Structure 1
Amino acid sequence: MVTEEMIKQLPKVELHDHLDGSLRPRTILELAEKEGVQLPAATPEELAAWFHRGADRKSLSLYLEGFAYTTALMQSRESLRRVAREHMHTLAEDNVVYGEIRFAPCLHQKQGLNIEEVVKSVLEGLDEGSQETGVKYGLILCAMRHQKVSLEIAELAVAFRSRGVVGFDIAGDEFGHPPKKHLDAFQYIKNRNFNITIHAGEAFGVESIWQAVQICGAHRIGHATRLVEDMVVHGTRIEKMGTLSSYILDKRIPMEICLSSNVQTGAAKSLDTHPFQIYHRNNFRVMLCTDNRLMSNTSLSKEMGLAVEYYGLDIRDLEKLSINAMKSAFIGYNERIELIYDVLKPRFAQLRETINPNM
């Protein structure tokens, strides 16, 4: 039996974590008072509940509405540094040993910051929080699907690759905004030998995932919930796979799975029917992620708890997911190996020993 307390103690790796979707409610209240922004609730508890209710409407476009408030409060160097620093402490409280945090710099220029200042401010906050907590990090820069600045963001990501930026992504509502519209940005990243993760297969089907992988060259897929449509499945057993799912399995392309947000946005009908269990049981390289801690009212511990409750995962399953994530991180090979063999494996072994010395 895997208990909640055991899960809290596990060392974790987080690869899909939006900075502007994970602010602390008290921080939102304090920043709003300073900036004169009217909020829909007056206490941290009421505010957290408001964000969660707003996100849980079975629609990605509706899920994204709450970000208008959080991004409005992340427009100065001070607020960006504070939010980033606090986020590292939030990761530490969740026993995350390595986290990749992502955000869209172009959403934080309403008070006159240039785009380089935005990225520098976030990196300063992440670095400060990392020094205080010991949590290692990488920053992923997102372009927005509905905007035409993806090449600029790709160039920015590469320019900051030696200062903590580890990859490039596009985010936002998939419907009507296919990844191939940003091909110049992805080609730029590939030509610079840099890293790509793409939101795909969340609000749109297999075609979105195919474009992300085969046209845009994604090294990881954010969500990939709809990949199951390329399979014939009986229970959790795959009877037949299409060429795309076979390719993703064979090439070990990682899929960043966000259980709670997938149900809240309607990408999956329920936790019972979420395809994660199919992917995991059939040896796809999957890992669990939070997506947006505030909007989805979650943590990596909670996501693991859901996987234990709904899919019967044990400690060894959770260890596999964590190692999958670390193998798939966008930092260097030697750094990944060090974290796997010096941190993840020893701490999981220690926990298994306390549960059952014969495990």
Structure 2
Amino acid sequence: MADESSSWRVPSLVQELAATVREPPPRYLVPEQDRRGDQLAGAEMPEPVPTVSLRRLLASDDGAAEEASKLRSALQSWGFFLVTDHGVEASLMDAVMAASREFFREPLEEKQAYSNLVKGRQWQLEGYGNDPVKTQDQILDWSDRLHLRVEPEDERSLELWPGHPERFRGLLHEYTLSCRRVKDGVLRAMARLLDLDDDGGIIEQFGDNKGATYDRFNYYPACPRPDLVLGIRPHSDVCVLTLLLMDDHVAGLQVLRDGAWYRVPPPAPVHGHALLVNVGVSLENSNRFELLEDTPTGDCDVSMQIMSNGIFRGPVHRVVTNSEKERVSLAMFYAADLEKEIEPIAQLVDEKRPARYKKIKCRDFVAAHYEHFSKRETVIESLKIDLGV
């Protein structure tokens, strides 16, 4: 039996690796068939990123209906959108991003005080480091991350929250509170589009305010061969909703649509301080949503996919690297209570549209997701109910 401390299970921190190599090690190379020609470069989006004003969307005047129409169109065309007028102070967003960069620029010994490896080898979700490595032939991502549970507040592992820079903890707390209001507003708007009650059973499934919220700080060092590696492999977020604070000036995010990868441009200068909301849907031309076809697109915001009975589905996305510049982003992931069973919302199930997914405890799904993700596989198929059609 292999030693659990085998070196392949604990890869080098990419930031340190990038400072010493001229070519990425073989463990980071994308399969040749996925990088032939210029496949990792992606194409320019054929239209601007959809943009929605949250203030107007939640207003009680005629402007709300117009903005809801924009939201519907955005979800129908791309499955994500930029939200503006969200109420998060620009100065706070700038400060959080600056503190994030400062943390990643700290000496290695300082950062490793917050390691996600217990006793140097047992992986845990929270902390600084890499994603789990399950197999010796797993292709690794060209990125490091700091992953922290920020809600509920009484379940924070503060010993893993960086003490340097000194303002980091206070800024993250304030940013978490501000983003919570954005999340609630977006979910209410989504419930209205589904003709549900105000919180539509969506917010309710977070479970007595015990829904887990994680903030993932992503660091992508400059890479000597961006044509050979990925910052993060193709995936969809295993949560209900994602709010992404993007690097204002360095691109990297790409989204899959109709079999092609498209580059998502940084929000600056046109929509500086906008947040990218990652939630995908498929819509009919009528006022109701249609069910999605069973296309194998991954674990697409699967908590929401189950809760909406297959109506909502998040876009598959990936991150590429840059040969000259580092890139930082902050993803706020909103999940249901880990101890709560998620299932299709009752108002979205009837004889014509029976339940399409089994109940599953959120904690069990997250564990299964990481197991499948390391193998570039999907777990959602195991949850589908055979409807005999």
Per the normalisation by structure 1, the TM-score is 0.29
More helix by share: 1
Higher Rg of the two aligned structures: 2
